Amino acid sequence: MIKGDIYARIAPENIDKITRLIEAYENLGIVSTADRKNGLIVIRGTPDTCEDLKEILLNLPFTLEIVDEK
C-alpha cells in the first residue's frame, strides 16, 4: 500500500456518491473502484491529505469501512 492510499468497503450503490463527495472537497484524493461488485474502493491521497480524508470518511451519512487490503 502506498502511503496516502486508503482502501475502503462501501455499499456498491454509494460508490458514485463517495466519488462526488471527494471531488467536492477540492480533490483531496482520487477515488478508484477496485471491485465494484463488493464495494471495494481506493482513495488515493497524499501523505499530507490522508488524515483529512480519514476524518471525512469516518463522518459520512452512509457506512464505510476502512480496510487494510489491496
**How does pLDDT run across 27-69, given as a tens digit for each residue?**
789 999 999 999 999 999 998 999 999 999 999 999 999 998 5
Domains defined along the chain, listed by start:
5-67 (3.30.70)
**Backbone phi and psi for residue 34, each to the nearest 5 degrees, phi listed first:** -90, -35
- Look at residue 1 and tell me whether its pLDDT is greater than 80: no
What does the block give as the cell for 26? 477540492
Type of residue numbered 68: D
CA distances for 3 relative to 10, 36, 38, 48, angstroms: 21, 23, 23, 10
Sign, CA dihedral 54-13-25-23, equals positive
Say which residue the cell 496516502 belongs to. Answer: 4
The pTM of the full predicted model, rounded to 2 decimals, is 0.86
